[in-house]
Amino acid sequence: MLMTTLDAFLEQYPSFRSTQILDDLRLREYGRLDRGHHVYLDYTGGGLYAELQVRQHMAMLMDDVVVYGNPHSSNPTSQTSTEMDESARHYVLKYFNASPDEYCAIFTANASGALKLVGEAYPFERHSHYLLTFDNHNSVNGIREFARAKDATVTYIPVNLPDMRVEEDLDPYFDLAGPGPATGRNLFAYPAQSNFTGVQHPLDWIDRAQAKGWDVLLDAAAFAPTSHLDLSRWHPDFVALSFYKMFGYPTGVGCLIARREALAKLRRPWFAGGTITVASVQGDKYYFAEGEAAFEDGTLNYLNLPAVEIGLKHLESIGIETIHERVRCLTGWLIENLFAMRHSTGHRLVRLYGPPSIDRRGGTVTVNFYDQNDRAIDHRQIEKLANAANISLRTGCFCNPGGGEIALGLSGAELSQCFRKPEYESRFTVDDFRICIDGKSTGAVRMSVGLVTNFTDVERFLEFARGLIK
């Protein structure tokens, strides 16, 4: 009897069978994927929601005896909203095993909003350091502008080709904090998982950095959807999250999980409704509220916060380890098969940016495609062809310029030259950038598997890729 492709996959990844619950769940709660013949490979961009999440949330909102009001009051409808929102806050901490005595959960619009809260309020000063890896989302890179505005030093840690990992001995960088006037005012930021390559950077950097006097900001937006972040084992000072990346619904709600001790260091540059106990116009003074309340500007997205708890319970009902194992198996198969594809000339179809194995990596796979003469195919053309095949993937540099610059071979010298040109003083478009770097690639193609990706999705994409072989 001939072995099918599925048989070969299961022989190589027998543990995939243990994730059968996700195939059943897809049929029951994500049926729109198959009804619409979609191949969704953009989980790093955004997760997908189960229909039950929406049904449960709508049932709450449509309860015929309950009315929800703005929570900034003590009236009955306000108290109802407050109770629901505080339940969601408690559940976020519970999900990540974060002790309420050590941590608090601050709701934001998204992970970027959480990162900005830290950046704008961190007590940078002249002798402070902001340390971060090349491999970071732009919302982490952007904190450097707050640091520089206060005369702090910004230092980037490079990533190394071909795996796009960082040298794991970071002590020379951590020693930069050293004893001095800025002791306790140095911030180290990195992603638990790269949104460019899928590399999972070591969580033990957290303890090692803190032992050298750094506060640690962990971007967990790409990590949390398919891996367990246990805040009883790891104790970063700040963690940024977006819930839609974890379970699709609701959008517009993120979170900063902050150690109370570290939160007390922050000094907000303004105050807003909801963040103060008392403010006076004539008295010209204000007093911040305590804890998370001082960082939640204006009125919370209070009707959507209960949907966060619903989404977290949905993930718990499946089990994050089950999700992680499915992603591990499908990612391995995707990488192995893509990497094996060659043109008739012998040239590889793709160049992979990141680890070629499933060791210490997530479900994000980033490549560029090459023709039979080993010339890069424009990533925008690949996206156009994928769109026609109803395959949702993502192209560009994914708001991670440091990772993209290393992967695509763009040097600091040529980039600096671009930004110094007088014609780009006030305006610099992507097309200008392409011209300036003399036609080098400005992006890549990213596929990411997630919660309800199945074997058929991956095979349909591989068939699409085979169609590019000449």
- State residue 1's pLDDT score: 46
Structural domain contains residue 410: yes
pTM across the whole model = 0.94
In this structure, of 11-20, 147-156, 336-345, 414-423, the range with the lowest mean pLDDT score is: 414-423
Q: Within this chain, do residues 310 and 329 fall inside the same structural domain, yes or no? A: no
Q: pLDDT tens digits for 22-79?
A: 999 999 999 999 999 999 999 999 999 999 999 999 999 999 899 999 998 999 999 9
User: Residue 329 class from Cβ within 10 Å (0-12 exposed, 13-18 middle, 19+ buried)?
Assistant: buried
Q: Within this chain, do residues 284 and 329 fall inside the same structural domain, yes or no? A: no
Tally the C-alpha atoms within 13 A of residue 413's C-alpha that lie toward its C-beta: 0
Q: Within this chain, do residues 310 and 451 fall inside the same structural domain, yes or no? A: no
CATH of the domain at 173: 3.40.640.10
Token pair in block for residue 61: 């909102």
Are residues 119 and 154 in contact, defined by beta-carbon separation less than 8 angstroms?
no
In this structure, of 121-125, 265-269, 417-421, the range with the lowest mean pLDDT score is: 417-421
Are residues 470 and 377 in contact, defined by beta-carbon separation less than 8 angstroms?
no
Cβ atoms within 10 Å of 385's Cβ, excluding its own: 15
Q: Within this chain, do residues 274 and 334 fall inside the same structural domain, yes or no? A: no
Structural domain contains residue 398: yes
Q: Within this chain, do residues 208 and 240 fall inside the same structural domain, yes or no? A: yes
Are residues 156 and 129 in contact, defined by beta-carbon separation less than 8 angstroms?
no
* Boundary-marking domain end, from 280, 315, 350: 315
- The residues pairing with 190 across neighbouring beta strands, listed in sequence order, are 218
The structure tokens 């793709």 sit at 350
Q: Is the pLDDT of residue 446 over 80?
A: yes
Q: Within this chain, do residues 294 and 153 fall inside the same structural domain, yes or no? A: yes
Q: Note the Cα 362 to chain centre separation in Å.
A: 11
Q: Within this chain, do residues 226 and 303 fall inside the same structural domain, yes or no? A: yes
Q: Is the pLDDT of residue 109 over 70?
A: yes
Structural domain contains residue 435: yes
- State residue 443's pLDDT score: 87
Comparison of pLDDT for 463 and 400, the residue scoring more: 463
Average pLDDT value over all residues in the chain: 92
Q: pLDDT tens digits for 131-146?
A: 999 999 999 999 999 9
Average pLDDT rounded to a whole number, residues 204-226: 97
- State residue 213's pLDDT score: 94
Q: Is the pLDDT of residue 434 over 60?
A: no
DSSP label at residue 424: G
Tell me how many domains the chain contains: 2
User: Residue 2 class from Cβ within 10 Å (0-12 exposed, 13-18 middle, 19+ buried)?
Assistant: exposed
Q: pLDDT tens digits for 264-282?
A: 999 999 999 889 889 989 9
CATH of the domain at 442: 3.90.1150.10
Domain that holds residue 350: 322-466
Are residues 419 and 432 in contact, defined by beta-carbon separation less than 8 angstroms?
no
Q: Is the pLDDT of residue 256 over 50?
A: yes
- State residue 374's pLDDT score: 94
Comparison of pLDDT for 411 and 408, the residue scoring more: 408
Q: How many Å apart are CA 57 and CA 313, to the nearest integer?
A: 12
pLDDT band at 442 (very low <50, low <70, confident <90, very high): confident
Q: Within this chain, do residues 279 and 329 fall inside the same structural domain, yes or no? A: no
Comparison of pLDDT for 184 and 223, the residue scoring more: 223
3-state secondary structure of 71: coil
Comparison of pLDDT for 418 and 62, the residue scoring more: 62
* Boundary-marking domain end, from 315, 346, 378: 315
Q: Within this chain, do residues 329 and 309 fall inside the same structural domain, yes or no? A: no
Q: Is the pLDDT of residue 428 over 70?
A: no
pLDDT band at 108 (very low <50, low <70, confident <90, very high): very high
Q: Within this chain, do residues 377 and 270 fall inside the same structural domain, yes or no? A: no
Average pLDDT rounded to a whole number, residues 248-276: 95
Percent of the chain with pLDDT over 70: 92
Structural domain contains residue 277: yes
- State residue 184's pLDDT score: 78
Average pLDDT rounded to a whole number, residues 372-384: 94
Catalytically annotated residues: 399
- State residue 400's pLDDT score: 87
Q: Is the pLDDT of residue 436 over 60?
A: no
Q: Is the pLDDT of residue 2 over 60?
A: no
Q: Within this chain, do residues 409 and 311 fall inside the same structural domain, yes or no? A: no
Structural domain contains residue 60: no
Q: Within this chain, do residues 301 and 341 fall inside the same structural domain, yes or no? A: no
Structural domain contains residue 44: no
- State residue 362's pLDDT score: 97
Q: Is the pLDDT of residue 425 over 80?
A: no
Structural domain contains residue 195: yes
Structural domain contains residue 407: yes
Q: pLDDT tens digits for 173-212?
A: 999 987 776 677 999 999 999 999 999 999 999 999 999 9
* Boundary-marking domain end, from 263, 285, 315: 315
DSSP-derived pairing of the beta strands 238-242 and 215-219: parallel
Average pLDDT rounded to a whole number, residues 73-92: 96
